[in-house]
A and B are shown apart, each in its own frame.
Chain A
């Protein structure tokens, strides 16, 4: 029988998990990176939409863990394990990290897209989660949606064809 799922939305500096037949989506990734971690056999997945690479440079006293690559990814993994994913089976797909504006001068802070990509890959590597596919960089915004039933990540971009990785 055909089941119709709902779409779980993830905001900016936010994360959530999803189980088949539902899908999970985040809108308008620019320099932000969307990290999907999933267990293909268990058909569960999680998505984090991170804004910044590194929580150690924050000036805030209490931080939103979902905002940084280095804190959001471990939280996402914990959440997945809670809903039945298996640590050894986890895989990842990532998208985003664009440089929307090119500034001729400016601080390192402005190269936030590439730094978000590096930090995300680094954290995934640390947790030994293989990155199966990625669509990162460039200067375009992306809306992404992951379906845990097929383990496919659909990427929509303005004025271009949709791609699936």
Chain B
């Protein structure tokens, strides 16, 4: 099936996936940070590869991304994307070390990278397990892969499979925001289903309308 002719019901189903997944992820993040975390209603977009990079500030914006390859019944990629500053705030909150800087080689040690990977693991893990409960499908996420670089350089990894069959990607974009008096932290959760996975997901939800 192609992305271009998804029905409104199918769009709604994908938005609901984003909703449930991000709701769970926000709860997990809230417990982890011991702070109130809000989520924004997810958006489902069919975008060209260039447009996808614009969703997170342009192709050469520096970002921190934690990538999960998800295997199982319906393979997909999940990215948890933060700006450099947001990732620093996150690590500072977790480690109670307010001087941490990602771009400073001395302070950006392994423990701090590991903190980021673990946060990504918890956030994306809860997203994926909600997705699994909702669809009754089996998902097996990989270990987290941390990347700190230009947005396009990192996100194209999620496009390698998709780009073999399409010039568009479907992005389920959910945002979670923490509310701290000093710092706000916004994270984007990107779900990139492989084209053949869409069919599996829709079938599992009982959506038989392929028009």
Contact = CB atoms under 8 A, between A and B. Distances in A.
A142 interface: yes
Tell me which of A57, A58, A140, A159 has the highest count of chain B C-beta atoms within 10 A of its own C-beta.
A159
A141 interface: yes
Tell me which of A30, A64, A156 has the highest count of chain B C-beta atoms within 10 A of its own C-beta.
A30
Interface in A147-165: 156, 158-159
Q: Chain A's interface: helix, strand, loop or mixed, by majority?
A: loop
**Ranked 5 nearest A-B pairs via Cβ:** A141-B153, A28-B152, A30-B153, A141-B150, A28-B59
A58 B165 CA distance: 7
B128 to A, nearest CB: 18
How many chain A residues sit at the interface, stated as a range, is 20 to 34
Given A60-B166, A112-B160, A30 B49 contact: no
Contacts, number: 100
Contact of B161 (A31, A109, A159): A109
13 contacts: A11-B48, A12-B152, A27-B150, A28-B60, A28-B152, A28-B156, A30-B152, A30-B154, A31-B157, A32-B153, A52-B164, A98-B153, A101-B157
Contacts of A2: none
Nearest to B156: A30
Given A30-B150, A141-B152, A59 B165 contact: yes
Interface of A: 11-14, 27-32, 51-52, 57-60, 64, 67, 98, 100-103, 109-110, 112, 140-143, 156, 158-159
Interface of B: 48-50, 53, 58-60, 62, 67, 69, 103, 142, 145, 147-154, 156-157, 159-161, 163-167
A158 B160 CA distance: 22
Nearest to A52: B163
A26 to B, nearest CB: 8
B150 A51 contact: no
A32 B163 CA distance: 12
A12 B49 contact: yes
B150 A158 contact: yes
Given A29-B153, A64-B167, A101 B49 contact: no
B163 A13 contact: yes
Contacts of A58: 164-165
A30 B60 contact: no
Contacts of B48: 11
Given A27-B58, A51-B49, A100-B154, A158 B148 contact: yes
Contacts of B148: 158
Contacts of A143: 59-60, 150
Contacts of A13: 49, 163, 167
B121 to A, nearest CB: 15
Contact of B145 (A31, A32, A67, A103): A103
B117 to A, nearest CB: 12
Given A27-B60, A67-B167, A101 B153 contact: no
Contacts of B160: 31, 51-52, 109-110, 112
B153 A51 contact: no
